[in-house]
Amino acid sequence: MGFEIVARDGAARAGRLATAHGAVETPVFMPVGTAATVKAMTPEAVAATGARLVLANTYHLMLRPGAERVAALGGLHRFMNWPHAVLTDSGGFQVMSLAGLRTISEEGVAFRSHLDGSRHLLTPERSVEIQRLLGADVTMALDECTPYPAERDAVAASMELSMRWAERARRAFTERPGHGIFGIVQGGVHAELRERSARRLVEIAFDGYAIGGLAIGEGQATTFAMVEASVPALPEARPRYLMGVGKPADIVGAVKRGIDMFDCVLPTRSGRTGQAWTRAGALNLRNARHAEDPTPLDPECRCPACTGFSRAYLHHLTKAGEILGSMLLTWHNLTYYADLTAALRSAIRAGRLADFSFGGAAP
């Protein structure tokens, strides 16, 4: 999997990730397509926002419809009619957060499906196999998501287990042109554990490196401190992915610290609850002050919600629980995130990241 850095500004980089399903410009935000669909969006609409890489969730897809079934139907790209790149997570995060009766051992995680109670064993090898069956361009190594807060010794032991799993996942990965596997830095909120984890992953040698287990309540300053502890230990020439982040200002701050890739449910989930991210800050369309407002949601935005409709109409749809409200606000929010990352790429190329601003999204 090729990765080329085309411009630098301080610690930030603008790059190009070459996948089997096209090039992806970085910094990039990946819309979350949990169950092989970005909720409330057609694939054409997702692509129209500018997205060329989406995330799909291994945990959900292994349980329903099943990885072998997706493979038999031609793989995830064909199944969901998404011709661009796909990154799948390892399944670990959702096993920890959704599944019942989890037992973690050296071998992997045994758990019961939250859908029907069926028993499953997710190992580093099985996770890689599922992601190969799905046809992911980017595969993530299985890690244990350390709870937060946790005692330092417990965090260290969990991180070491994740590193042994990372080695097994790397070995299980089948090299194919345009496909890659990323390892995940763990270590909680402890800088020295983060650095040790990053160094261990680099010894194993991945195609890219993720920083996981953050944005779970530790606060932005700590998130950034953990990024700063991890990034110097990672190779300059490989992509870096901060998992589950975040708000626009988190993305700007992390890009300035050398992060290239992001994912978060925020723009899609909040789009379904009447929350919009605009150049003037976050807005709640449920608020009565929008009820008679004929102006667009964000006058500088190119999306259909902003070019075709008023705030009053979007307020009405949201209040009435209309499906179109979810569709339009999701489309808008994903456009906002795509335009934010495009503006970051331009600022890096122009060497003007220091005075970057994008409406409310200051670091």
Residues that bind Zn ion (CB under 5 A): 301, 303, 305-306, 332
Minimum Å gap between C-beta 333 and Zn ion is 8
Angle between helices 248-256 and 220-230 (to 10 degrees): 30
Element holding 97 (H helix, E strand): helix 92-98
Known catalytic membership, residue 207: no
- Alpha carbons 164 and 124: distance in angstroms, whole number: 9
- Two structure tokens written together for 202: 């680099």
Cα distances (angstroms) measured from residue 337 to each of 18, 132, 250, 332, 342: 21, 28, 12, 9, 9
Amino acid at position 72, single letter: A
Minimum Å gap between C-beta 330 and Zn ion is 11
Known catalytic membership, residue 89: yes
| Beta carbon nearer to Zn ion, 66 or 299 | 299
Minimum Å gap between C-beta 346 and Zn ion is 19
- Two structure tokens written together for 137: 């361009």
| Beta carbon nearer to Zn ion, 132 or 332 | 332
Minimum Å gap between C-beta 274 and Zn ion is 14
What is the strand order of the sheet 2-9 is part of? 2-9, 12-19, 22-26
| Beta carbon nearer to Zn ion, 210 or 301 | 301
**Three-state DSSP state, 286:** coil
Q: Is 177 left (phi over 0), alpha (psi -120 to 50) or beta?
A: beta
- Two structure tokens written together for 64: 């329903």
Residue tagged active-site, from 89, 250, 298, 339 = 89
| Beta carbon nearer to Zn ion, 242 or 276 | 276
Minimum Å gap between C-beta 305 and Zn ion is 5
Residue tagged active-site, from 137, 250, 260, 263 = 263
| Beta carbon nearer to Zn ion, 169 or 305 | 305
- Which residues make Cβ contacts (< 8 Å) with residue 219, sequence separation at least 6? none
Strand partners, 342: none
How large is the C-alpha radius of gyration of the chain? 20
* Residues carrying an active site annotation: 89, 263
